[in-house]
Amino acid sequence: MRKLGVFNNVSLDGYFVDANGDMRWAYRDKPDAEWNAFVAGNASGEGELLFGRITYELMASYWPTPLAKQNMPAVAEGMNRMPKVVFSRTLDKVTWINTKLVKGDLATEVRKLKAESGPDIVILGSGGIVSQLAQEGLIDEFQIVVNPIILGKGRTMFDRVTQRPTLKLTKSRAFANGNVVLNYEPAA
């Protein structure tokens, strides 16, 4: 069984997107070589990416472009190379390279995906997906980057979670740019 993880930035007030659904506040203009190496390291590994439609469309409109290759070459290479799954009932086709469109019931299909052989799966963005899969207990690792910014309004990735799960902190790491990466697993 392969693992299903989440990697997302959140603001200090817990939002992964602002009130406009935007995630660009997480890309602040403050160079931090260690942070950049961390992000590039994530993108250089093996892994299958899982998205909802909204995040998919956002990412598919950016990572294949020359601008992305110029701004963040290592991350763009990884994002384009890695196998990707997008869950959507409304999309008819996907154009981003190495992407598979899945239309069935989310939890059922994710259970099947996890049972297949392959690299570990990571959800990026996709708050609705995170929320449903966390509620189903299907997420094995949460990697949450607390950014040193207050958004005031926005959306959390856990708004459908009702059982108040407690988690086990497995690692934490602070960066000079003020980001703190927190790793959790579901508590036993």
138 belongs to the binding site for a copy of itself (CB under 8 A): no
Q: Which stretch binds a copy of itself (CB under 8 A): 8-16, 34-42, 85-93, 118-126?
A: 8-16
Q: What is the rounded distance in angstroms from the CA atom of residue 121 to the CA atom of residue 5?
A: 6
Q: Which stretch binds a copy of itself (CB under 8 A): 44-52, 67-75, 110-118, 162-170?
A: 162-170
Q: What is the rounded distance in angstroms from the CA atom of residue 26 to the CA atom of residue 24?
A: 5
Closest contact distance (angstroms) between CB of 166 and a copy of itself is 5
| Chain center to CA of 49 | 8
Dmax of the chain from CA atoms? 45
In the range 105-124, which residues lie near a copy of itself by CB under 8 A? none
Beta bridge partners of 123: 6, 50
90 belongs to the binding site for a copy of itself (CB under 8 A): no
Q: What is the rounded distance in angstroms from the CA atom of residue 5 to the CA atom of residue 18?
A: 22
Pick 68 or 157: Cβ nearer a copy of itself: 157
Closest contact distance (angstroms) between CB of 183 and a copy of itself is 10
Tell me how many residues contact a copy of itself (CB under 8 A). 39
145 belongs to the binding site for a copy of itself (CB under 8 A): no
DSSP for residue 118: S
* Sign of the C-alpha dihedral computed for residues 58, 61, 66 and 67 taken in this order: negative
Pick 47 or 127: Cβ nearer a copy of itself: 127
161 belongs to the binding site for a copy of itself (CB under 8 A): yes
9 exposure class (CB count in 10 Å sphere: 0-12, 13-18, 19+):
buried
Through-space distance between the first and last CA atoms of the chain, rounded to whole angstroms: 18
In the range 10-39, which residues lie near a copy of itself by CB under 8 A? 10-15, 25, 28
* Residues near a copy of itself (CB under 8 A): 10-15, 25, 28, 134, 142, 144, 146, 148-153, 156-162, 164-169, 172, 174, 178-180, 182, 184, 187
